[in-house]
Amino acid sequence: MNTTNLIAVKGNKEGLQIICGDKGSWKEIITEIKTRLAGENSHFFKGASVQVDTGTRILSAEQVGALWQVLQDSGLTVKCIKTETQDELAQSFKSWSREQGKELSETEYVCAKPVLIVKRSLRSGQNITFDGNVLIFGDVNPGAEIIASGFIMVLGYLRGIAHAGSSGDDKAWVMSFRLQPTQLRIANCITRPPEEEPQGPELARIHEGVIVCDSMDWRKYYDLIGGI
């Protein structure tokens, strides 16, 4: 197979851009990135900031971690790893902001941290630990655990344990359609939720040193979410 078509490397004023095609296995892609960056032009890339588009692939935490490592080893500063699905998210964010009457610059909605997208439910005994943000399309059942250094967003029931900002980021937050965790941790704060059932989507964050939960209001939290 002709490996030169697996990825495309482009440069623009903001830095380097690596776009991964849909062909080839992830292993082949990583090898290709390695060879391209280690080629005779390697000194040219040093210190550049890089944006990677992984296309329609769904990557595991280890795969994203490995990619990150390869890029860092080549002397690049990783700016963003994004996938097709994350782009859709950004698109909807963009159209929403237009409706609100303000135009956002790209840096305001593209996430600075990688996002791990999980398209299934987490059952008891299953856990995710990720250096970045975690987005779950499904439920997180009791006995399951998510630990993320960024934010955690669960588009479903959150009944397990969630720890956002695990490396001490007290700006991290946890959002869920129904926020009923066994235990909730943000940065160094730990809390148990109240007994009553929530009636709608809620967002938990740290306010004056304690975790507070509020019903979801995007306008109210725009600064918080847009700032990540």
Residues forming the site for another protein (CB under 8 A): 121, 123-126, 139, 141-143, 157, 159
Closer residue to another protein in complex, CB, 85/121: 121
* CA atoms 142, 220, 169, 187: torsion sign: negative
Distance linking the first and last C-alpha atoms of the chain: 40
The least CB distance from residue 54 to another protein, in Å, is: 24
Structure tokens at 109: 């909605």
Judge residue 98's burial from the number of C-beta atoms within 10 Å of its C-beta, 0-12 exposed, 13-18 middle, 19 or more buried. exposed
User: From the CB of 180, what's the least distance to another protein, in Å?
Assistant: 11
Residue 162 or 187: the one with the smaller Cβ distance to another protein is: 162
Residue 18 carries which side chain, given as an amino acid letter?
I
d(CA 95, CA 158): 27
The residue (of 17 and 121) whose beta carbon lies closer to another protein is 121
Q: How far, in Å, CA of 201 to CA of 177, rounded?
A: 4
| Listed residue (217, 141, 214, 218) closest to 181, CA to CA | 141
CA distance 117 to 82: 10
Work out the number of other CB atoms within 10 angstroms of the CB of residue 53.
Answer: 18
Tell the smallest beta-carbon distance from residue 197 to another protein (Å). Answer: 12
Output the smallest distance, CB 115 to another protein, in A.
Answer: 23
- Residue 159 or 185: the one with the smaller Cβ distance to another protein is 159
Indicate the residue among 7 and 162 with the shorter CB distance to another protein.
162
Instruction: Give the shortest CB-44-to-another protein separation in angstroms.
Output: 44
